[in-house]
Structure 1
Amino acid sequence: MFSDYSNGAPDSSNLSRQFYVPGTIYGDTSNGNQVVDFQARETRFNFKTSTDLDGHKLTGFIELDFFTHGDGNERVSNSYSPRIRHAFISYDNWTVGQTWTTFQNPGALPENLDFVGAAEGTPFVRQTIVRYTNGGFQFAIENPETTVTPNGGGARITSGSGMVPDFVARYNFKTEGGAKFTVAGLARQLNVEIDNLDTQEIGYGVSFTGVIPVGDDDIKLSATAGDGLGRYMALNYANAGVLDANGEIETISSYGGFASYRHWWTDQWRSSFTLSGFKALRLTTMKH
């Protein structure tokens, strides 16, 4: 991989040297701008089972790769620990375990050489869920985790103290022309209970994705907006909220999307052109 960082390249151990992470694009002005990386960390292993139990379908799936860990180095052996990506079981319409959040449609992700691709323009989360599917409808409760910015700025505060799971509903449908679409909604409680802080707020979001055939080619697109989305968008580029002077959460609004056109030159050669963007802003309210 060849990368050109206008503000200086991060150190070789930095996450953004493995794949594009919007929150780490600022680099280090003390380093050079252009770098080359060789790695085998995208190597992936998975194992799947499928069993018929008296007419009921039971499926198990587990998948590992070697990304994101900082426990190895490039000096001698490049030894990196495996990490869990997916680990779930499905029984008829139920899925329980770790996999893609129901709020995300991985089938609409652009086909880019980068591991994620249009990272800032898409929801991208894997976590433990309990999901029920019926036709095109999906309903899920998922693991809660809150990220906020301290009052006046500073290091991100991450709180896993929430007692209310995140709720997601989604509808998948397709047209007679073969286009596939999804509409998803998310509702979550932001909860911070750390030291003397004890505050809650509501976050929500909506997401739309589509895969539209254009002859042998296709267009993939996504649009997502919400208040308090935080970690669900752009690999947690922005937090879900900011703590005000009273220790209360003020939510951060965020918007993101992408459009990607994929062209097949031959049966074996294809290329994609992708545009992606993200914006976050804090809406300050006056409390009396």
Structure 2
Amino acid sequence: MTKFRMPVLLAGATLVLQAVRVEAQGTGQKGADPAELTRALEARLDGLESEIASLRAELAQARADAAAAATATPQPAIPPSIPTPARTTEQRLTALEQDAALGIRVGATRFSIGGYLKLDALVSDFSGGDPPANALINDYYAPAQIPVGGIGEGAELTTSVRETRIVLRSETPLAGQTLTGLFEVDFLDTPLIGNQRVSNSFVPRVRRAFITWNDFTFGQDWSTFQNAAALPERIDFIGPTEGTVFERQPLIRWRNDEFSIALENPETTITVGTASFEADDDVTPDLVLRYDHRLPHGSLTLAAIGRYLSVKDLVVSNPGSVTTINGEAFGWGVSASGVYDFGPNRLSWMGNVGEGIGRYLGINIRDDVIATATGKIDAPLVYSGFIALRRSLSPRWRLIGTGSAYHSTTPEDAAQSLTATVWSGNLDLIYNPLPHLTLGIGFRYASRELANGAEGSLRRVQLSVRYDY
């Protein structure tokens, strides 16, 4: 039972330590007796230290017993603990916090768990119609799903906990190096097992799952073409969605200090008429080069991507006809991004341009290629970007303003009901009443325009409560 009691106790100790610090901060309140509070804190610390010491002794004894049984030779008795010098309350708190942060050790591997719990409440007003129930745009900002051409139905309220996230990390010493792993899940963009009628059940989805060793990363992670560190603080899931590269996928990456090179999952997405398909004909990985330069007060990132786009014998049935699409094209893209810190404030930005990189931008607002009238493919030019400013109002209050935009060209023989331009602006006010608790309120206005000139807009107020653990 010791192996179960230790992680449980350490988790409990972490919670108690938070309460201890809150009580310690309250010694200056009216009616509080500092001496009495100090005695109470010391008593609780004594209990925690005693219990952890007891568990350590039990664990050491269990290991000694197991070793003795395996070798059938007497084992030396566990030496008594050596008295330690008296420590201040702050020193004892720090020591216990370090113990609680060690995680769970299994053999040579150390595991730690992180993530957050999050509740979102979104009041949305769509001018061009009402999105379907459980559409992505009901849970977070998905630009391509802003309705166009319909009739607005007024404001509607959506609540969700689907952004809640669980992260499991591991570290294993191996041949003078450290082999690390990360597994991360949340509950967004998953098949609808449940619904809002009764259970609101949603299955977990894999976000990232990779191992790193000796400058190499193997597995699913943020695309090397994306600078996730440039995303501004926000209460929406992504924030400046239409203006950012956003892609997670399997990859093999090598990084040495400021330079990275990666081979990443290839997949050509194609639009035929207004329908979207995954061609599933790719054999050449996407190649990404990246340079990260550290600055005295921030960073600058430059990235480039090369893609071999392929569609083979894609058969599409239309009323009265059948079209077979074949084509090859070269896709390319460049991205520049950065952050600049001045005091507690931060300016962050990103700019992107390319051809045939549709699925990398704005969570696939447009596909990589478009089928032409002759059954070939065309890779349209796309560009996007954002700029965001975080202003610190106090140690606990922050105000973040963001502007973001996206544009894609559309061939004359393609459907003119495809998205041409999307832009949005939002303002978030964020407050931390406690170290691990974040409250936020934000307002967003967004507009989507089709190639034929039709438009639709979104007005949204969002409230969020987030607990990081």
TM-score by length of 2: 0.58
* Whole-Å separation in 1 of the counterparts to 2:196 and 2:234: 25
Residues 240-279 of structure 1: pairs in structure 2 closer than 5 A: 240-279=368-407
- Once the two structures are TM-superposed, the CA of residue 283 in structure 1 deviates from its matched residue by 5.8
Give the number of the structure whose alpha-carbon radius of gyration is greater.
Answer: 2
- 1:201 maps to 329
- Once the two structures are TM-superposed, the CA of residue 75 in structure 1 deviates from its matched residue by 0.7
- Aligned with 1:37: secondary structure? strand
Residues 36-51 of structure 1: pairs in structure 2 closer than 5 A: 36-51=157-172
- 2:282 maps to 162
CA pair 78-31 structure 1, distance change in 2 beyond 3 A: farther
- Aligned with 1:198: secondary structure? strand
- 1:190 maps to 309
- Aligned with 2:275: secondary structure? coil
- Once the two structures are TM-superposed, the CA of residue 31 in structure 1 deviates from its matched residue by 6.2
Which deviates more, 276-285 or 97-106?
Answer: 276-285
Q: Which amino acid aligns with 1:161?
A: D
Q: Which amino acid aligns with 1:274?
A: T
Between the aligned residues of both structures, percent identity stands at 37
Q: Relative to total residues, which structure has the larger helix share, 1 or 2?
A: 2
- 1:84 maps to 206
- Once the two structures are TM-superposed, the CA of residue 77 in structure 1 deviates from its matched residue by 0.5
- Aligned length in residues: 282
- Once the two structures are TM-superposed, the CA of residue 28 in structure 1 deviates from its matched residue by 7.9
Q: Structure 1: which 4+ aligned runs deviate by more than 6 Å?
A: none
* Whole-Å separation in 2 of the counterparts to 1:52 and 1:282: 53
- 1:145 maps to 267
CA pair 206-50 structure 1, distance change in 2 beyond 3 A: same
8 Å Cα contact 1:260/1:275 also seen in 2: yes
Q: Say whether 1:67 aligns with 2:188.
A: yes
- 1:129 maps to 251
* Whole-Å separation in 1 of the counterparts to 2:373 and 2:329: 15
TM-score by length of 1: 0.94
CA pair 223-211 structure 1, distance change in 2 beyond 3 A: same
Deviations 1:203-247 (A, max 9, x none): 000000110112220100000000111100011101112122222
- Once the two structures are TM-superposed, the CA of residue 29 in structure 1 deviates from its matched residue by 3.3
- 1:179 maps to 298
* Whole-Å separation in 2 of the counterparts to 1:12 and 1:32: 14
Deviations 1:18-69 (A, max 9, x none): 1111110116836623111111111111100011112112101101111112
Unaligned segments of structure 1, at least 5 residues: none
* Whole-Å separation in 1 of the counterparts to 2:154 and 2:227: 34
Q: Which amino acid aligns with 1:172?
A: D
- Aligned with 1:167: secondary structure? strand
8 Å Cα contact 2:128/2:151 also seen in 1: no
* Whole-Å separation in 1 of the counterparts to 2:173 and 2:399: 40
- 2:344 maps to 216
- Once the two structures are TM-superposed, the CA of residue 197 in structure 1 deviates from its matched residue by 3.0
Unaligned segments of structure 2, at least 5 residues: 1-121, 316-323, 414-469
1:54 corresponds to which of 175, 192, 197: 175
8 Å Cα contact 1:99/1:127 also seen in 2: yes
* Whole-Å separation in 2 of the counterparts to 1:232 and 1:280: 13
